[in-house]
Amino acid sequence: MEDAPRGLRESLKRVAVTLKEADIPFALGGSYACWARGGPEPVHDVDFMLREEDVARAVSVLAAAGLRSVDPPEDWLTKVFDGEVLVDLIHHPVGRAVTGEMLERSSEMSVDSVRMPVLDATDWFEMTLLALEERYCDLARVLPMIRAMREQVDWDQVRRATAASPFAEAALLVATRLSLIPPGDGLASTPPGRNGANRKAGRIAATGTGVSPHSPAPTSPPGTAEPAIVAGRADTAADGGVPGADSRPEERVATAGRSVAGQPSAGAPGSGSGSAGSGAGASQAARRAVDPAEADEYLAGDLHELLAEDPRVAELGLEVAVREGYVLVEGEVATDARRRAVAQVIAEAAPGHPVRNDVTITGRTTADGPANVETIQ
């Protein structure tokens, strides 16, 4: 293992030089991109990011250079071996397509004396945090990377892009509490129960379009659905159509993030199927149509009314806020079943919108010992 890094670096450089000579756009990704940006040196494999349409050509030029290609069962990457060293050619990290824009955002850096494009640090963290999941959420690996790259990253953008992932949220919370990164001004950084308004509009790529925050309007068609990345999506009209976005953040909040791109028809808003699991009496409460693609404030209003009208909840006093597609509900209900129904009703009415259910349960309606007695006089 002692020699592994040197072998890995040799393979890394060989692949990079080969791709460059063939004029195939790519960027160094994975843990070597982190290493190039100051992080710990990896000892496992080498990752390159390519557009899917370039992968076949890349494999053939690499094969011509003496590498051995392997077609793995995974559909988001392909692999080549340089001797014993495994090199991943990734075209759909965490379900999102690698795009030309993403590759253009990468920075030309010297990696072990060879200049090559290295994946943008913000993109890199979006992917890395979105890759965290229940069986792979070791923050001990992530924190040193945050430490190493923190000043190269637009953390608010990372927060928005990863808002749907509880694992990413946890990582960002820890990093924030450790003062490794600045506190977010948006939802992802606020603790549950304290809803802050996300002040910047999300310009996060819709699933599979691979458009990133820093890039012009998306052009790629939607790719595979990746349910984890639903928060903060903005449609391109809103994106381009909001003037003075950076100087007038509040206004952007109102218009951006309205679209649930990638799921245009999945909505079947308030469809009849929503009545599953509801009790009798649901009938006349006709699941109202809620258009999940409308402006945030209207969606919030519609969901507020829906929660009052749906018999599973029937609570008039819940507060609903929608920020960049992220639905937040606060308030009190009498039972845990109704609390769970809140999330259910919203999920049915506005599918694809991540929900933060901060609804609490009114204290048990039981006797509670000596109560304070007020004297009315």
Partner 1 sequence: MIRIAAVGDIHLGTDSAGTFAPVLRDLVGRADVLLLAGDLTQHGRPEEAEVVAAEIARAEIPVVAVLGNHDYHGDAEEEITAILTAAGATVLEGAGTVHDIGGVRLGVAGVKGFGGGFAGASGSDFGEPLMKAFVRHARDVANNLLFALEELDCDIRVALTHYAPVPDTLIGERAEIYPFLGSYHLAEAVDAGGAELALHGHAHAGSERGSTAGGVPVRNVARPVIGKACALYEIGVRTAIDAERAEVRTSPHSADLVTPVTP
The answer to the question of residue 1 lying near partner 1 (CB under 8 A) is no
Instruction: Give yes or no for residue 375 binding partner 1 (CB under 8 A).
Output: yes
Residue 329 CB, nearest approach to partner 1 (Å): 14
Per CB under 8 A, the segment of 41-49, 84-92, 116-124, 314-322 that binds partner 1 is 314-322
Q: Which residue has the tokens 């820890």?
A: 174
For the chain, state the CA radius of gyration. Answer: 24
Could you tell me which residues come within 8 angstroms of residue 27 by beta carbon, excluding any fewer than 6 positions away?
Answer: 33, 48, 49, 102, 103, 106, 116, 117, 118, 119, 120
Number of residues that bind partner 1 (CB under 8 A): 26
Q: Is 286 near partner 1 (CB under 8 A)?
A: no
Give me the 240-279 binding string for partner 1, x by CB under 8 A, dash otherwise.
---------------------------------------x
335 binds partner 1 (CB under 8 A): yes
371 lines the binding site for partner 1 (CB under 8 A): yes
The piece of 36-44, 97-105, 145-153, 309-317 that touches partner 1 (CB under 8 A) is 309-317
- Work out how close the CB of 191 gets to partner 1 at its nearest, in angstroms, rounded to a whole number: 21
Q: Find where tokens 């190493």 sit.
A: 148
The DSSP H or E segment spanning 331 is: strand 326-333
Cα 163 from Cα 124, distance rounded (Å): 16
The residues facing 85 across adjacent strands are: 82
CA gap 70, 146 in Å, rounded: 32
Alpha-carbon span 170 to 271, nearest angstrom? 34
Q: Is 366 in the site for partner 1 (CB under 8 A)?
A: yes
Task: Record the tokens describing residue 213, joined without a space.
Answer: 């925050």
Q: By CB under 8 A, is residue 365 in contact with partner 1? A: yes
Give me the least distance between CB of 375 and partner 1, in Å please.
Answer: 5
Question: What residues pair up with 90 in beta bridges, in sequence order?
Answer: 49, 77
Task: Tell me the sheet residues that pair with 255.
Answer: none
- Residue of 120, 160, 161 lying closest to 34 (CA atoms): 120
**Shortest separation between residue 341's beta carbon and partner 1, angstroms:** 11
Residue ranges binding partner 1 (CB under 8 A)? 279, 281, 311, 314, 316-317, 331-332, 334-335, 337-338, 362-368, 371-377
